[in-house]
Structure 1
């Protein structure tokens, strides 16, 4: 459900209550952009400067967060890679996926895929990502029509197709990319760093506490 209009109405009422126009004036937008441009960045760890280094760093950090990773050459190789992962782990070969992945040859690879929002009975969810961050090995998912974040959170297994060209250094670059490409942030922005987990009981890490038990990233080097 698109709640953009409702959000705009709520913000307009808040602005009206503080004596401002319902929509930001051009001067306000310019001031905000100027602040973002001039605001000093906080300390950050050193990161690779080249694309190959970012991919390698992402893979290392993702694996450290219990995300399994396979690299493939092209987007067309993703379905076969997904099948390899499912078979190797004894998992079902029926999945729900984002409609943006519908053009790939899932059936020919041996995976029965439905392109719709997930239901409680779905055990495998296949998604793309808006981008990924090398610093933390995180997948960045933006909600929207055809890119339901629930496909990454509801099924027990989440498989993500990650174009290497969409791996950025860190969260700062991810948000900058959102502003540059989307302008307005969507209803939900999710940073997925491995399977869900909790350590509340006797400080013992348990996976699958409030999301998938397992996360697998297929990094597409040629995309």
Structure 2
């Protein structure tokens, strides 16, 4: 369900209560951009030249498993290998943006739809990933539904090496550069879902996937 119009209506009512026009004027947008440009960012850790290596290092700390392939065409076989090694189902749901990959040839039965239960494997891409924290950045959309990476017990994410950025700041810079407006949801996925609410004992899969597996594509 597209909630963009509902969001615009809510924001328009808030702006009306403030005595402003329903939509921001060009001058207002320019003032916001100027504010961001003039305010320096806080101190940050140094990042290595090899962002992919740093991403892998941090992702492993979060209990994310990682595989690396050369091209996108190698992804279905890598996904099949991971699922087989862990005795997981060879059926999955996936983003519609992944329809061109040859999943069936690799022995996977993939449906390009939103998940209807939590017992399946979810295959997604990502908008980008951050090396500083080993985090996936997923933007929701009609073909990139957020539920594919949140509801299934196993989440397999495809990460082009060229889309690994230093940190969250660069991720938001990229969103502002490539998107006219923020999507309905921006999800930052840092390893499997976990909680320590009960007796400070970490439990995986409490509010999302038990497993997060990343396939990094070098030539993408």
Residue 152 of structure 1 and its aligned partner are, at CA, apart by 0.6
Query: After the TM superposition, which residues 97-136 of structure 1 pair with which residues of structure 2 at under 5 Å, given as runs?
Result: 97-120=94-117, 122-136=119-133
Residue 121 of structure 1 and its aligned partner are, at CA, apart by 5.2
- Cα pair distance change 1:123/1:172, threshold 3 Å: same
Residue 122 of structure 1 and its aligned partner are, at CA, apart by 4.1
Unaligned runs of 5+ in 2: none
Question: Distance in 1 between the 2:72 and 2:41 partners?
Answer: 35
Q: 1:75 corresponds to which residue? A: 72
Q: Is the 8 A contact 1:96 1:118 kept in 2?
A: yes
1:63 paired with 2:60, answer yes
Q: 2:202 corresponds to which residue? A: 205
Q: Is the 8 A contact 2:118 2:151 kept in 1?
A: no
Residue 183 of structure 1 and its aligned partner are, at CA, apart by 2.2
Q: TM-score, normalised by structure 2?
A: 0.98
RMSD: 0.8
Unaligned runs of 5+ in 1: none
Q: TM-score, normalised by structure 1?
A: 0.97
Query: After the TM superposition, which residues 180-191 of structure 1 pair with which residues of structure 2 at under 5 Å, given as runs?
Result: 180-191=177-188
Residue 123 of structure 1 and its aligned partner are, at CA, apart by 1.5
Structure 1 stretches of at least 4 aligned residues deviating more than 6 Å after TM superposition: none
Q: 1:138 corresponds to which residue? A: 135
Q: How many residues are aligned here?
A: 220
